[in-house]
Structure 1
Amino acid sequence: MSISGTIKKIFRHTETGLFNNPKTQDDSPPKINTLFDPINNVNHTSYTIHDNTGHNKGTGTSIILKQKFLITYQSKTSTFKGRLLTIDLFFRQKQILRITSTYLPASNSNKNDSIKITEQCVLHLNEILNTSHNYHHIILGDFNVQDHSQPSDNTNDPPNKEASIQHPKKRLTKNTFISTLKNHNLIDIHKTLSDSPSSTFRKSNSNNSTTLSTRIDYIFTSNNLSDYILDSDNIELPPTEFDTDHNLLILTLDNDCFNFSPTSATKILSNKKDFIDYKKLSKEDWSLYSESIEQFIDHNWQLSIINTNSS
């Protein structure tokens, strides 16, 4: 089982082994699960949405919404062959978050039509991105490939099925899937935050000694979400608790991104600007200003990177 990704109590996991079931309907209710927390003596309710439309056991992906109120914002769900599960969440101020849980085929051979399925996933990804220009995107999961892709122009990555007919000889691979994300200006979170991101997958031999360690799990987000990223992590799960050869990838976003609180919504609606008369500032004011700027940079990783590169 592959596990990766969490954002404000939204989880997703892949290779569920659920397949060959009727297509999930947009209005079908999620599965409700209750887990008792003995430490706090409370029950936690979660809602699981499955893509079980694959045709073999090596398919299936799910998204779990841990907090009940998030269900209120779910407006649409779409599935694709147990490989791409997409949900749309509508928040205040017309903020739309589209989350796509991805599980690309592990094999590069024609077994179980892996090559054909991969090409179909690339085309479907283009449809997802090209029909939602004003959305916030988070596309994450087990891509089953190391990233050797490079951004290219639109002629190399067909934006839709019609365009693919004009390039019948081009093979669409799992690296094409990643380059498609880059061409739509999505960013690889862990690679952005680290020059050498850690491996996410390990394969052991019969003696339980590690023989392979690589990065095949990813979290990509729209550029417009970068200002709201609070933290990310890559955690190796203890084998005593989890039966998985994948790490847990974590992404934490600020609530202000989706205007959960009335306070943040009010700020956006008022559009009020504060002006400072710099001529009236004292030395103490300037000192306090400098300290505040340094603290702000320390707590915003994008500015920290820029500051480091420029020094």
Structure 2
Amino acid sequence: MVGVENQPSFQVPINSLPSSSKNIEKTQKNSNNQNTKNRYNNNNNNDNSHHSSGSTSYTPDVNDVPNEEHITNLHVVNADNNYFIDYLKIGTINIQGGYKTKLMDIINYFDTHNFNILGLTETQYCHKHENNKLVERHPHPTNKNLSIYIILDANGDNRGSGVGIMLTSTLYQHVHQIRFHKGRVLNIELGFKRDHKLNITCLYLPAGRDKHTNIIKKECNQFIDQLFRTQNTNDDNHKFYNLIMGDLNCYPKEKNNLNHHIIQMAKLKGFKDMAKFHAENQTPDITRTTHRIDYIFGNNNILNASIHTFAQKIPPSHFTSDHKAVITLLQNDLFKRSRHRQENSTSRTPSFIPFTHSSIEPTCDYFI
């Protein structure tokens, strides 16, 4: 049974929402995208006519949500030069506590930025639910026919813990398994037709180095090892999609940190650091190094369906955090693919188009 806070408990269903509900979400995203397409075309016209009398140049405003959202949308373009493909948007952000006070701002951020799935770390929300699942259902901020679901692990021993995963109504209906560990590890599995599965593990690992903290780190490592022993992560299984994301409180090459075990395990199992992968496949090559602790790792099936991955600051109009959101865009048909379609999909794969008027942080500045 899955308990929904302030709502009756119910069994997590595997079936999807009725097609009308799916169409509501898709129509809403397409409407947002059409608005941003118009903004983009207008801005391009201004930029291309800057020699004419009375023309104005485009200057992005970080507080302008539509402008900032169209920047994200314009990262994808298909062969027909159509900027508004139906992509799947997945991200992770450290909210730096205050989950309950920031909740409405987080929901608005999720909605206005067209997320399908968003991992939340360092919620600092403690609410003992032991072995019971904790799921919150919230009204959609702009559409009364939809809801936003937040699955939480609030079982931490202190207020420095807490993880969550937000999902749209449509995707939540596919959740059939939830596992968690002490407010540090939250794992969900979604099932789709023809036995396709999406497995997501959201992590917020401890930052300290003292004896007590190291014990927690070791316990988290053991729990995650056990999780992945029970999963079919073999790349030959074209129906299994796997993501590890969150705040690992560990630099990419910090091998003396117990949290590095997760990075090493992910690589041994064939996972790729999604943001680094996409940065290395853009030009120019990575030339600058910075420290980072927030990641999205994906298995080979995720990689084959990926469009782009980038880091982005949270607009001050939403909530404050000195962490950047890490965001990956995936092709939306990935759960409908056969092996043959996967192997022959490169010609139809949307590509990343750099956008010069962008408030998105340059991806190459983000890596070691």
TM-score normalised over the length of structure 2: 0.56
Moved more, 239-248 or 124-133: 239-248
2:275 and 2:243 mapped to 1: Cα distance?
13
Shift of the 9–297 alpha-carbon distance from structure 1 to 2, 3 Å rule, reads: closer
Counterpart check, 1:148 vs 2:253: yes
**Alpha-carbon shift at residue 218 of structure 1 (Å):** 0.2
Q: Deviation string for 1:79-130 (max 9, x for gaps)?
A: 10100000010011111111011000021223xx211111111121111112
Compute the RMSD of aligned alpha carbons. Answer: 3.3
Shift of the 126–144 alpha-carbon distance from structure 1 to 2, 3 Å rule, reads: same
**Alpha-carbon shift at residue 136 of structure 1 (Å):** 1.9
Pick from 303, 323, 328: which aligns with 1:251? 328
Pick from 264, 268, 271: which aligns with 1:183? 268
Shift of the 247–172 alpha-carbon distance from structure 1 to 2, 3 Å rule, reads: closer
Amino acid at match of 1:93: R
Q: Deviation string for 1:155-181 (max 9, x for gaps)?
A: xxxxxxxxxxxxxxxx87111221111
Task: Output aligned runs, 1:219-258, within 5 Å.
Answer: 219-258=296-335
Amino acid at match of 2:94: S
Contact 2:187 2:200 in 1 (8 A): yes
Counterpart check, 1:103 vs 2:195: no
Give the structure 2 partner of residue 83 of structure 1.
184
Give the structure 2 partner of residue 304 of structure 1.
none
Pick from 327, 330, 351: which aligns with 1:299? 351
3-state SS of paired residue (1:214): coil
Gaps (5+ residues) in structure 2?
A: 1-92, 97-109, 234-239, 281-285, 354-368
Give the structure 1 partner of residue 159 of structure 2.
57
Contact 1:54 1:83 in 2 (8 A): yes
Shift of the 92–300 alpha-carbon distance from structure 1 to 2, 3 Å rule, reads: farther
Pick from 91, 94, 109: which aligns with 1:2? 94
2:288 and 2:246 mapped to 1: Cα distance?
15
2:229 and 2:179 mapped to 1: Cα distance?
15
Shift of the 297–10 alpha-carbon distance from structure 1 to 2, 3 Å rule, reads: closer
Counterpart check, 1:13 vs 2:157: no
Give the structure 1 partner of residue 70 of structure 2.
none
- Flag the structure with larger Rg: 1
3-state SS of paired residue (2:260): helix
**Alpha-carbon shift at residue 71 of structure 1 (Å):** 2.2
1:106 and 1:77 mapped to 2: Cα distance?
25
Give the structure 1 partner of residue 219 of structure 2.
120
Pick from 24, 38, 45: which aligns with 2:147? 45
1:73 and 1:297 mapped to 2: Cα distance?
25
**Alpha-carbon shift at residue 240 of structure 1 (Å):** 4.5
**Alpha-carbon shift at residue 69 of structure 1 (Å):** 2.0
3-state SS of paired residue (1:54): coil
Quick one: percent identity of the two aligned structures? 26
3-state SS of paired residue (1:58): coil
Contact 2:307 2:350 in 1 (8 A): no
- In the TM superposition, structure 1's runs of 4+ consecutive aligned residues that sit over 4 Å from their partners are 3-8, 41-44, 295-298
TM-score normalised over the length of structure 1: 0.66
3-state SS of paired residue (1:238): coil
Contact 1:24 1:51 in 2 (8 A): no
Pick from 22, 25, 30: which aligns with 2:129? 22
**Alpha-carbon shift at residue 137 of structure 1 (Å):** 1.0
Gaps (5+ residues) in structure 1?
A: 151-170, 200-212, 273-292, 302-311
Relative contact order (C-alpha < 8 Å, sep 6+): which is higher?
2
Give the structure 1 partner of residue 71 of structure 2.
none
Alignment length (residue pairs): 232
Shift of the 136–247 alpha-carbon distance from structure 1 to 2, 3 Å rule, reads: same
Amino acid at match of 2:164: S
Contact 1:3 1:247 in 2 (8 A): no
Contact 2:163 2:183 in 1 (8 A): yes
3-state SS of paired residue (1:77): strand
3-state SS of paired residue (1:18): coil
Contact 2:116 2:171 in 1 (8 A): no
Give the structure 1 partner of residue 107 of structure 2.
none
